Amino acid sequence: MIAIDIVRTFVAIELPEVVKRGIAEIKNQYSDMEGVSWIKPEGAHLTIKFLGEIGRDVVDGLACALEPVMAKVKPFKLKIEDVGVFPNLSKPRVLWLGVKEEKNLKQIHLKVDEEARKVGINKEEKNYHPHITIARIKSDEPPQRLKEFLKEFKGKTFWTDVDVKSIVIYKSILRPDGAEYEKLYEIPLLGGEK
């Protein structure tokens, strides 16, 4: 019998240090918000597609398939602005920073989704809503300081001109103090030079 290495994986855009430091500052400012589990800022990323628990061989196959596809995509810039919660304010579960740059991100999401489907990973059912998760809300009631947080940062532009030059396939390792991420593949956006 052959043992298959199963890994919990996702495809994402790695964020630059300036963004990670900024998320750390926001976390420090609101670290006393009750019922909230903040992400580790050093692991902050923009998810393109969660792949789930799949065989390492499937991950390798997907990475090979994505390389020529992403070689045709031009590098681009993101703007990180606004804050919000999923699914709604009365039952918030995820606190996020918004991302503006719909065209390229949606194009990359569709291409990743299509290549993932070819290697046996289910197609995304819900609409893609680009965002950066910064905290998970564990309490049943919205935290007291959540309204204050949303009021302070609603509509705020945090960073402009965030360069996106590659996508990354990450391995997610769940730990009691939060997830850790290991880079398995970095696939460059080469701009489609002929």
Query: How many distinct structural domains can be found in the chain?
Result: 1
Dump strand ranges (E) for 56-177. 76-86, 94-100, 131-137, 157-164, 166-173
DSSP state, 41?
G
Q: What is the pLDDT along the chain (194 residues), one digit of tens a residue?
A: 555 688 999 999 999 999 999 999 999 999 999 999 999 999 999 999 999 999 999 999 999 999 999 999 999 999 999 999 999 988 999 999 999 986 899 999 999 999 999 999 988 778 888 999 999 998 888 888 999 999 999 999 999 999 999 999 999 998 877 788 999 999 999 986 54
* CATH code for the domain in which residue 131 is found: 3.90.1140.10
Instruction: Tell me whether residue 193 is in a domain.
Output: no
The answer to the question of residue 1 being in a domain is no
Distance of CA 73 to the CA centre of its chain: 19
Vertex 145 angle, CA 173 and 181, to 5°: 10
Tell me the two tokens of residue 45.
């990323």
Q: What is the DSSP letter of 1?
A: -
What is the distance, to the nearest Å, from the Cα of residue 66 to the centroid of all Cα atoms in its chain? 18
The three-class DSSP label of residue 168 is strand
pTM confidence score: 0.91
Q: Is there a domain that residue 177 lies in?
A: yes
Please check whether residue 194 lies inside any domain of the structure. Answer: no
Which residue range is the domain that position 111 belongs to? 6-188
